[in-house]
Chain A
């Protein structure tokens, strides 16, 4: 059974700092890995999707990497801003399935 773990559970940083969020998964037979953002009391917004054959994806100040063999992904946020404060979740899609398995999320607070 696929398990997804995110560390740390919560992170508080000053504005302007570069930061890394971590995601690990137990079964490397994945089709893709996705990063989402969730604001309090809201649904999820898709940030980045990395196919299993890719090493990284970039969107603006966000960069996600994937090391399938070691079962790890990182989300790098450059020059963090207070507006980046949210919970970030990663999810993996198995090659044999049609369902995402989610991690528990990292709650990020960026202080002005």
Chain B
């Protein structure tokens, strides 16, 4: 089945530690996105990529980094510079920014 796989489902970070969230899609989509969702709030864009080896900052990129070395993969690293990382992280993709986005099931990140 085609879709987006995010792993792990739950992740815990220690103080001063970097952690990486995985996002893999087999939909052959060109564009991929990372969002952060806090309780009772909508989605805020962290980073997006419209093509391999290229990506742009979203509204809340500080403390995060990404790479896009392969079309199907768009990992997100939450660095120690992100002081409030506890949130639900969602990855999405589509063929074209004007088309509906397909979402993974998310990764919930918490602080130890």
Chain A residues with CB under 8 Å of chain B are: 4, 9, 31-32, 34, 41-46, 49, 89, 91, 93, 97-100, 102-105
* Contact between B45 and A99, CB atoms less than 8 A apart: yes
Specify which chain B residues have a CB less than 8 angstroms from the CB of A100 in the assembled complex.
Answer: 43, 45, 101
Specify which chain B residues have a CB less than 8 angstroms from the CB of A45 in the assembled complex.
Answer: 103
Specify which chain B residues have a CB less than 8 angstroms from the CB of A93 in the assembled complex.
Answer: 97-98
Q: Give chain A's interface secondary structure class.
A: strand
What separation, in Å, do the CA atoms of A97 and B58 have in the docked complex? 12
* Contact between A103 and B42, CB atoms less than 8 A apart: yes
What separation, in Å, do the CA atoms of A98 and B97 have in the docked complex? 5
* Contact between A98 and B48, CB atoms less than 8 A apart: yes
Known: A9-B40, A43-B103, A104-B41. 18 other contacts (CB 8 A): A43-B104, A43-B106, A44-B90, A44-B92, A49-B100, A89-B42, A89-B43, A93-B97, A97-B97, A99-B45, A99-B48, A99-B97, A100-B43, A102-B42, A102-B43, A103-B42, A104-B42, A105-B41
